[in-house]
Amino acid sequence: MPATLAPPVSPPRIRKGAVWALGLLAAATGTLESVVAPTLPLLQRELSMSPAQGALLSIAMLITGALVAPVAGGLGDRHGGKRVMIRLMAVVAAGGLVSSAAPNLPVLLLGQVLQGAMVGAMPLSFILVRKHLPVGESQVAIGVVSGMFVGGGMLGTLIAGPIAEGLSRHWMFAVPTLAIVVATLSVHLLMPDDPPARSGGRIDWPGLVLLSGILLTLMLGLALAPDLGSRPLALGGLVLVLAAFVAGWTAVERRAASPMVDLRLLAKPAIWSSYLITFAVCAGTAVSMYLVPQLFAVSGDGYGFGAGSTDIGRYLLPGAVAAAISGPLGGAAVRRFGAGAAVTTGIGVMAATLAGLAILHTEVWHLVAGKALIALASGVCVTAMVVRTATSVEHGDTGTATSLVLVTRVIGFAAGAQVSGALLTSGTPSGSDVPAESAFVTGFVIAGAVTALSLLAVRTMSKGANK
């Protein structure tokens, strides 16, 4: 039976405490998400992992998140954001407990796969704030939740090592998991129930399977990107598989009575332009995230600084702080100046900074300041895209539309990181393990150009949007 619109219901307006409960949950999930990266060497030693197994562990949660986000957003649109969020967080908490008790790699991988469901909490939060707050306040609230997630990631990066070394690796998973449980209870108590936006439609299982196939193929292609150039048959096979999944998914969604993703939604200029800009900005950001620490670590006898892990962490801290405040700043900027102005300014600052780093990277402060500016500008852009996407669709499509922004963000970061790695690999002279300085310059220039080109899509953002 075709999906029908539920009778209009005016949900109660929420207090600030409910918004901060969502922010606390975002911070806790961001903390849990980020504890593996800084402690990967320790985990490899304690669990006798090979480098390949370590790489698998580092992307397991990323892949799950890319798959779960659109599903969670769609279910939240259908059945209510709060209802789906509570159940999703139960899965995440179970994953955190499994990770904290894991005696070996297979169990830890299982825990990471379950934890990956946390990415779905973001579109569900956006559903709730949009239903319970007027447009201006919901824009700021979306920025607060986004910023708290980034701030949680910064906190997890800082505390993971000390907790793992001072207590054990088990506690670095257990502590943020307990925080997630507390935050989820706070959301349950403070956030009123939200009525489903749509009712009567069945879950589009064929569409979900095919969309999962598309995302898995993309992530696999990005993970294997450095080796695909020398394996044309593998590259051709991946392209064919991806094309088949896309064609099948498009056909299924067009015929589905209640599609998980309405293709008419994706055809709106305000929506597809948001996804395009998000991908370009995140790819450019990922290049700086990958290249700047590598440049700090290059021997000081050459063009680098010979910095150790502790020094690099200290150098990157201003950028992490800038990323944390970029969410609320982006939401406030959209409310006051509009999404177009916020995104245009952010892209301009980011492109200029990347070009500047290609020319000036001979002093530590060049890289510290540049990384902070990129983090701030990128965060403002992505938050503006989330806000713009959320307010450009009907209430019943908020979760689906914003979840795809988050998926695009993941793919953009993965693409930028893989391109950066390929550039440094190809730019390393034979017989040396130190990339040529020109490889870094090329990376910054490419990232700046890709970011600047996304300005071409900004004009389309105002077309076909719901005001």
Lowest mean pLDDT of 22-26, 74-78, 265-269, 461-465, name the range. 461-465
Output the DSSP codes for 76-112. HHHH-HHHHHHHHHHHHHHHHHHHHH--SHHHHHHHH
Specify the range with the lowest mean pLDDT, choosing from 82-91, 175-184, 254-263, 359-368: 254-263
Domain boundary (145, 178, 197) is at: 197
In a domain, 164, yes or no: yes
- How many folded domains does the chain comprise? 3
CA gap 313, 307 in Å, rounded: 10
The answer to the question of residue 2 being in a domain is no
Residue 395 φ then ψ, to 5°: -55, -35
State the pLDDT confidence band at 447, using cuts at 50, 70 and 90. Answer: very high
pLDDT digits (tens, 9 = 90+) for 333-357: 888 888 888 999 999 999 999 999 9
Higher pLDDT residue, 159 or 342?
A: 342
User: What pLDDT score was predicted for residue 359?
Assistant: 93
Backbone angles phi, psi at 2, to 5 degrees: -60, 150
Choose between 325 and 49: higher pLDDT. 325
Residue 167 shares a structural domain with residue 18: yes
* Residues 145, 131: Cα–Cα separation, whole Å: 15
pTM (2 d.p.): 0.75
Residue 353 C-beta-side C-alpha neighbours within 13 Å? 26
- pLDDT score of 448: 93
59 and 158 housed in the same domain: yes
**pLDDT value for 199:** 54
Of 221, 240, 259, the last residue of a domain is 259
Per DSSP, helices labelled H in 391-466 are 398-426, 437-453
- The residue from 212, 243, 259 where one domain ends is 259
Percent of residues, the chain, with pLDDT higher than 70: 86
Residue 7 inside a domain? The answer is no
407 with 317, same domain: the answer is yes
Both 172 and 217 in one domain: the answer is: no
pLDDT band at residue 235 under the 50/70/90 scheme: confident
Q: What is the DSSP letter of 10?
A: -
Q: Are residues 110 and 145 in the same domain?
A: yes
Kindly list the distances between the CA atom of residue 268 and the CA atoms of 272, 360, 384, 464, in Å, as whole numbers in the listed order: 6, 40, 17, 6
Alpha carbons 272 and 217: distance in angstroms, whole number: 21
Q: Tell me the residue range of the domain where 151 lies.
A: 14-197
Q: Indicate the average pLDDT of the chain.
A: 80
Given pLDDT bands bounded at 50, 70 and 90, which one contains residue 265? confident
Residues 225 and 292 in one domain: no
pLDDT at res. 137: 75
- The helix/strand/coil state of 262 is coil
In a domain, 220, yes or no: yes
Secondary element (H or E) of residue 67: helix 51-79
- What pLDDT does residue 412 have? 84
Q: How would residue 50 be classed by pLDDT, with cut points 50, 70 and 90?
A: low
Residues 214 and 143 in one domain: no
| 91 and 161 co-located in one domain | yes
Distance set, CA 193 to CA 44, 245, 401 (Å): 43, 37, 21
The answer to whether residues 155 and 231 belong to one domain is no
> Is a pLDDT exceeding 90 seen at residue 104?
no
The answer to whether residue 9 is domain-embedded is no
Q: What is the DSSP string of 346-357?
A: HHHHHHHHHHHH
Q: What does each C-alpha distance from 367 to 55, 103, 297, 300 come to in angstroms?
A: 27, 40, 12, 15
Q: Where is average pLDDT lowest: 163-177, 349-363, 394-408?
A: 394-408
- Which CATH number do you get for residue 169? 1.20.1250.20
pLDDT exceeds cutoff 50 at 325: yes
Q: How confident is the model at residue 466 (pLDDT cuts 50, 70, 90)?
A: very low
5 lies in some domain: no
Q: What is the pLDDT of residues 52-80, one digit of tens each?
A: 566 567 667 777 777 787 777 777 777 77
The reply to whether 360 and 244 lie within a common domain is no
Considering the domain architecture, whether residues 255 and 266 belong to the same structural domain is answered as no
For the cut 90, the answer to whether the pLDDT of residue 358 exceeds it is yes
Residues 6+ apart with CB under 8 A from 263: 250, 253, 254
Residues 323 and 181 in one domain: no
